[in-house]
Structure 1
Amino acid sequence: MPKKIIIILPLIFVIFILLYYWHGLNTPFVASGESKNFIINKGEGVKLIAKNLREADLIKSNLIFELYVWLNNKQAEFKAGEYILNTSLNIKEIAEILTRGFAVNKDIRLNMPEGLTITEINERIKKSGFKFGDDFINLADKSIGNWKLSATKPDFLNDAPDNADLEGFLFPDTYLFFNDATAEDVIDKMLQNFELKVTEDMRRDIKTQGKSIYEIIIMASIIQKEANIDETGKGGNEEAGIISGIFWDRLKFGQALQSDATLSYIFTDKNPQHTLEETQIDSPYNTYKYKGLPLGPIGNPGLEAIKAAIYPVKTEYNYFLNKLDSGAAVFSQTYEEHLRNKAKYLK
């Protein structure tokens, strides 16, 4: 091969790479802009920020974004916060906004832990500085049938009965709002977050199992209260998966779930155990008295509980209880073993 060609080919390759980088750097995701909220949490690195930007359809290339950040030594300059980014911005402009800290000035931070009920969320909202009083609970308690008539209704609500409320679908998270936000704004953001977190793959797996999203959310809301869950997902949450497997098996074999968490929902208490008399209360949420799932969710579960409900762990266990001191689950295969564990851990 002539020397000129040997020299020219690498040169052409370098020019091509430079042009590709320059084009990717300066070309927006789309020419016509759409504003989107984007959040950087404390401790997030360049790679995760780039991944989140790509998944939000704000940039076309993770690699070019990361390369630009590293070449310009901006990797330590990202500021945590919530931003409004437009799809007409290019990578350089987005990096400038995120590193200079032009975050949205939101006035109210609402921290919503996993497992809260609509009533408990409402109490937090009333203490957070919103101006709409009880509008939230009035809307959240409104039947899903009314929400289905909305032009912006999320598709996942189609799985729920028309007379159900939004219990179970208000996704737990930390939210930022302007102080003039309405109850509709708060609910819409929680529903949008649910739609984002419960992925298409998860919904496809639910459908493959012959279950509905509503059934999964009911089960997840019970698991949320019965299991010790690491909400970061780093702990594996095997305990939640095993409890899920036990509960689904009970339904499969026509047995009652016998979950004290459902009784706590009825009595609005936090008791890990209930009396024999309490287990006889006539309520569609009483899983001691009635077989099958309760009428609806008993709270708003987090992502890890939802995953546990979708992906139960199959074991030989048939029973479990939670230690009074730590809340950790103790599993057993036979009823006799379960009784021994009750005598050991619940007295």
Structure 2
Amino acid sequence: MNDLDLFSDPYGDGRPSDDPRGRQSRRRVRKRQKRRRRNGRAAALFALAFLVAVFGTGGVLGYAWLDDKWHPPDYEGRGAGNVTVQIKDGASGSAIGTTLEQHRVVKSSRAFVKAYTKELKASSIQPGFYQMRLKMSSAAAMALLLDPKSRAGNQVTIPEGLRAVELYKRLEEKTGISAKEFQAAAKKPQGLGLPEYAKGKVEGYLYPGRYDLDPNGTAAQILKQMVGRFNKEAESTDLVAKARKAKMNPATVVTLASLVQAEGGKPSDLPRISRVIYNRIDKGMKLQFDTTVLYALNERRLKVTQKDLLTPSPYNTYLHKGLPPGPISNPGPDAIEAALAPEDGTWLYFIATDPTNKVTKFATTEEERLAIEKEFRAWQKEHPGQ
């Protein structure tokens, strides 16, 4: 065998290269290769078409998304009709926009936020109720919120220390809802949200402060709003835990605070008045507060007679030891804090020696008490009839 003999049989099986079976086998191989190439080209074309469709659609959707972001849907013009909308205290531009969208004032909150961020006076929007129009442009809605004339609610400030009956009269003046309706609502405490320890009584739990009242609200809704403010403040100050630490229940704290508030003149006096209450109860002394007698009589005056002091009422602390059975006013945060943290001292007495200027003086001994009482009598002579 020479060197060329090594390549004379390419298949190594001894068959000549022109064997018909070899040619058939080669043809089958070539057909399979052609089919693979055709299928590969089809797959490549399909993949290319798919990519074009995906990225083409994505481009359209991406443009639509950007266009919506840059130009959020918005109404045109000043709108029509009327709707009352409440803007809550501390609401952000986004929160205001959501509220307006929910009430169909603006078409989208995003459009309003865009107008809000452009308005330099946006932060001056006040919480409360506003008379808005339906389907307004965001710019028009923004302008209306900045217009004081669009305020729709009744703004009322409830001072600390009012009794419930006094509070009802003030609300009557502001809302047109009669005091009797408020009294009737207070007698149905189930829907007012009172804490369990209030035992169904609103006195002490109508929290003082500034309120924006719904112009369409009922007596019950307004009382519920005020009780809700108390609950919020009680939660934020952890009233229940602080009362437990002071070995009292929350209702006792509120009752004590109501006395402090009723007797107090200046905020700085409140912790001292609280200490007097603690000291007298610790010593088994009756509180003998005129304010409790006047609460039982449903009167407001400085002069209390001997006959008044005999008023048969559980609220009369001249007749009964300890705290009255419930609050005698609606105290504010300073009085509640004073009830929980009285100032250190040995005082057993206090007298408002100059009610005109809210001057209160404190005493530990009977001799000191007589001295400050003398100052009060001198003030009474200078202010007859009070």
C-alpha contact (below 8 Å) 1:78/1:100 kept by paired residues? no
C-alpha contact (below 8 Å) 1:261/1:272 kept by paired residues? no
Question: What does residue 268 of structure 2 align with?
Answer: 238
Partners of 2:285 and 2:144 lie apart in 1 by: 56
Identity of aligned residues (%): 24
SS in structure 2 at match of 1:321:
strand
Structure 1 pair 317–99 and aligned structure 2 pair: CA distance change class (3 A):
farther
From 77, 82, 89, the equivalent of 2:127 is 82
Structure 1 pair 286–131 and aligned structure 2 pair: CA distance change class (3 A):
closer
SS in structure 2 at match of 1:110:
strand
1:311 positional shift: 1.3
Q: 1:40-61: per-residue Cα shift (whole Å, max 9, x none)?
A: 6xxxxxxxx99xx9xxxxxxxx
Q: Does 1:318 align with 2:348?
A: yes
Q: 1:251-277: per-residue Cα shift (whole Å, max 9, x none)?
A: 222211111111221233333342222
From 122, 129, 145, the equivalent of 2:175 is 129
From 85, 88, 113, the equivalent of 1:38 is 88
Question: What does residue 292 of structure 1 align with?
Answer: 322
Q: Quick check: which has more Rg, 1 or 2?
A: 2
Partners of 1:101 and 1:184 lie apart in 2 by: 30
Question: What does residue 208 of structure 1 align with?
Answer: 245
- Structure 1: gaps (5+ residues): 1-25, 27-34, 41-48, 54-71, 85-92, 230-236
> Aligned residues, how many?
261
Q: 1:215-250: per-residue Cα shift (whole Å, max 9, x none)?
A: 111111111121123xxxxxxx33100110110221
| Alignment TM-score, normalising by the size of structure 2 | 0.60
Question: What does residue 202 of structure 2 align with?
Answer: 166
1:136 positional shift: 1.1
Question: What does residue 370 of structure 2 align with?
Answer: 339
Aligned positions of 1:69-148 closer than 5 A:
77-82=122-127, 101=146, 105-131=151-177, 134-140=180-186, 142=187, 147=189
1:128 positional shift: 1.6
Question: What does residue 75 of structure 2 align with?
Answer: none
Question: What does residue 6 of structure 1 align with?
Answer: none
C-alpha contact (below 8 Å) 1:218/1:294 kept by paired residues? yes
Partners of 2:221 and 2:362 lie apart in 1 by: 43
Structure 1 pair 182–335 and aligned structure 2 pair: CA distance change class (3 A):
same
C-alpha contact (below 8 Å) 1:116/1:299 kept by paired residues? yes
Partners of 1:82 and 1:98 lie apart in 2 by: 15
Partners of 1:153 and 1:122 lie apart in 2 by: 18
Question: What does residue 153 of structure 1 align with?
Answer: 193
From 158, 173, 178, the equivalent of 2:214 is 178
Question: What does residue 279 of structure 2 align with?
Answer: 249
Higher-RCO chain (CA-CA 8 Å, sequence separation at least 6): 1
Structure 1 pair 100–274 and aligned structure 2 pair: CA distance change class (3 A):
closer
Partners of 1:137 and 1:315 lie apart in 2 by: 40
| Alignment TM-score, normalising by the size of structure 1 | 0.66
Partners of 1:100 and 1:337 lie apart in 2 by: 58
Partners of 2:128 and 2:121 lie apart in 1 by: 18
Partners of 2:330 and 2:144 lie apart in 1 by: 35
Partners of 2:305 and 2:128 lie apart in 1 by: 51
Structure 1 pair 226–98 and aligned structure 2 pair: CA distance change class (3 A):
farther
Q: Does 1:327 align with 2:363?
A: no
1:133 positional shift: 6.0
Question: What does residue 297 of structure 2 align with?
Answer: 267
- Structure 2: gaps (5+ residues): 1-68, 70-84, 96-116, 130-137, 379-386
C-alpha contact (below 8 Å) 1:78/1:98 kept by paired residues? no
Partners of 1:113 and 1:259 lie apart in 2 by: 21
Question: What does residue 265 of structure 2 align with?
Answer: 228
CA RMSD across the alignment:
3.3
Partners of 2:367 and 2:240 lie apart in 1 by: 38
Partners of 2:145 and 2:323 lie apart in 1 by: 50
